[in-house]
Structures are given as C-alpha cells and as structure tokens.
C-alpha cells in the first residue's frame, strides 16, 4: 500500500516532488474519472491527450473499478454466508430447546424428533456461546 497524499490539497501542487505525487495520485485514484484525469494531465502537466493515452487511462479506470467490484462481491458473499449461518444456528437452537422444554427431553431426543443432526445442535450451541 502506498499513500500518495491528498491530490486536492493546495500545498500538494507547490514543489516538483509534490507535483509528481499528485500525478501518480490522480492516475491511481478510484474517484477521479477518466475524462477528469485526462483534463488534469493536459492542463497541469501539459501532456497532450492522444487516443493511445485515452485508451491507457480508460484501461486503468476500468481495472480499478473491476477490483472494487470483485472486492465488493467477495465481501457481500462472505457476509451473506456468515448471516445465513447465524440464522440457521439460531433456528436450530430455538427449535431444539423449545422441543426439549415442552417435552422435557434431552437434546439428543429433541434432535431426533426434529430430524436435526445432534452435532449440528452442539455446533450451533458452541457458536452462540462464542458470539
């Protein structure tokens, strides 16, 4: 990870090192869209916009958007899986414990009645203690 600073900071544009960091920051930015990047390259750095440059800037923008999409998908998938597991565990616990209480029986017998694997009940019980 590399922190290039804030490209909107006014002091950022004062010296040559800061100008180079701003250039890299603008090019690597996920927030700055391709047309704005090209405008900054042309106005601040006097880099002529060519079709080749436009293509490369667009590739960079699409690449960063693709990275964001993939990360979002993975995070969403993980959260969904975790929530589903928590809900399932809660359903198992409440069902088994309700039958146990109503019929005054052991967890094993309640699981048998509900057709739930006894190990699933104990795993859910353990997970609820951890949370």
| Each residue's pLDDT tens digit, 1-30 | 455 556 566 665 566 777 888 888 888 787
Q: 71-90: per-residue pLDDT in tens?
A: 889 999 999 999 999 999 99
- Residue 35 pLDDT greater than 70, yes or no: yes
- Residue 33 pLDDT greater than 70, yes or no: yes
- Joined together, the tokens standing for residue 31 give 């927030």
Say which DSSP state 10 is in. G
> In percent, how much of the chain has pLDDT > 90?
47
For residues 111 and 102, what is the distance between their CA atoms, to the nearest angstrom?
13
> Taking all residues of the chain, what is their mean pLDDT, rounded to a whole number?
85
Give CA separation, 98 vs 117, 120, 122, 131, in Å: 16, 16, 15, 21
């Amino acid at each position: 990870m590399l922190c290039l600073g804030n490209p909107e900071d006014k002091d950022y544009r004062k010296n040559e090192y800061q100008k180079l960091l701003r250039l890299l920051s603008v090019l690597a930015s996920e927030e700055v869209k391709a047309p704005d990047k090209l405008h900054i390259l042309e106005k601040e750095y006097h880099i002529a916009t060519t079709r080749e440059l436009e293509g490369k800037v667009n590739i960079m923008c699409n690449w960063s958007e693709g990275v964001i999409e993939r990360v979002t998908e993975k995070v969403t998938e993980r959260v969904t899986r975790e929530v589903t597991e928590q809900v399932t565990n809660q359903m198992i616990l409440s069902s088994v414990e309700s039958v146990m209480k109503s019929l005054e029986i052991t967890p094993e017998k309640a699981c048998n009645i509900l057709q739930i694997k006894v190990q699933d009940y104990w795993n859910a019980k353990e997970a609820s203690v951890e949370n």
